[in-house]
Structure 1
Amino acid sequence: MNKVNSSLVLLMFVVASVATLGSLFFSEVMEFVPCSMCWYQRIFMYPLVLIFLVNLLYPDDKLFKYSAPLVFVGLGFAIYHNLLMWGIIPESAVPCKQGVPCSTEYFEYFGFINIPFLSLVAYGLIAILLLSFKKSRA
């Protein structure tokens, strides 16, 4: 693996790690109860940390194949959740029927930065880095 590819994998690992640690901080330290959509996004983010770490230690040509499904499904959930938060998707079209509503906003900075937005940014960055990784390998 060349320096560009290993740098991209390292960046993907860092973004996935920060997102994972951030979600654990919000739920375990701040005691914010995650909604169903947040759980779905976590399910697809947490394994990425291990996939990128293993690829850093033992480079593999199939990183895109292993991680792309997790990244793009998680990105889909993040987009859907943000569309809900922005009022584009009605709350009646959301799978959060029990527990915390998916529209719950624990904090908001600058009028748009909230937990679902942070997830969207993390998945978006990883998707861009992953596509760059694939392109640099071609």
Structure 2
Amino acid sequence: MMRQYALFCAWVVSLVATGGSLFLSEVMNFTPCKLCWFQRIFMYPLVYLLGRAAYKNDRGIVGYALPLSIFGGCISLYHYLEQKVPGLAKILPCTQGVPCNEDYLNWFGVITIPLMALVAFILITIFLIAGRRNEADGTDDELAD
């Protein structure tokens, strides 16, 4: 059952994450830092790719979308650590615009924008792995069971 809706669920997560980032920058006027832009570069194409794949039930997209979600998640993890580990921001500081270690949101001392992006990338990765095609015979795992 999970595999049947995995692409759709991954698309919904990417849609919510993209909408949330646009809301924060365009409505709340939070200027994205350099690392936020890199996270957007990996998230925004997933809306189109996963939406089309979910509509066509094209599980072959997993091989293309999975690297985007994994690399985006790595950037989010680094960004989150840069905000929470004081010495890390000094290693590779942002030189222009908004500092990458600045917290626009800091709910409960833990939840920040990079953490929310990391959770989105992790969820997308989980859904993509769960919904992948069975590579041995080229069929969907759901149909092979």
Partner secondary structure for residue 62 of structure 1: helix
1:135/1:60 Cα in 2 relative to 1: closer, same or farther (>3 Å)? closer
Question: Residue 111 of structure 1 aligns with which residue?
Answer: 109
Unpaired runs of 5+ in structure 2?
135-139
Which stretch shifts more, 127-136 or 109-118? Answer: 127-136
Q: Distance in 2 between matches of 1:92 and 1:22?
A: 28
In structure 2, the CA distance between the partners of 1:103 and 1:131, relative to structure 1 (3 Å rule), is same
- Identify the residue that residue 28 of structure 1 maps to in structure 2: 26
SS in 1 for 2:132: helix
1:42 is matched with which residue: 40, 43, 47? 40
Partner in structure 1 of residue 65 of structure 2: 67
Q: Output the aligned Cα RMSD.
A: 1.8
CA distance in 1, matches of 2:34, 2:10: 25
Equivalent in the alignment of 1:122: 120
What amino acid is the match of 1:117?
A: L
Identity of aligned residues (%): 40
Deviations, residues 14-65 of structure 1 (Å, cap 9, x unaligned): 1000000000000000000000000000000000010111012222241111
Any idea what SS the aligned residue of 1:112 has?
A: coil
CA distance in structure 2 between the partners assigned to 1:107 and 1:53 by the alignment: 29
SS at match of 1:31: coil
- Pairing 1:17–2:8 present: no
Structure 1 length normalisation: TM-score?
Answer: 0.90
Instruction: Quote the residue 2:137 is aligned against.
Output: none
User: What letter corresponds to residue 97 of structure 1 in structure 2?
Assistant: T
Partner deviation per Cα, 1:82-130 (whole Å, 9 max, x = no partner)? 1111106521223521110001111211110111111111011111111
> Equivalents in 2 of 1:109, 1:126: separation in Å?
23
Equivalent of 2:78 in 71, 77, 80 = 80
User: What is the TM-score normalised by the length of structure 2?
Assistant: 0.86
Q: What pairs with 1:84-103 in structure 2 (closer than 5 Å)? A: 84-87=82-85, 90-94=88-92, 96-103=94-101
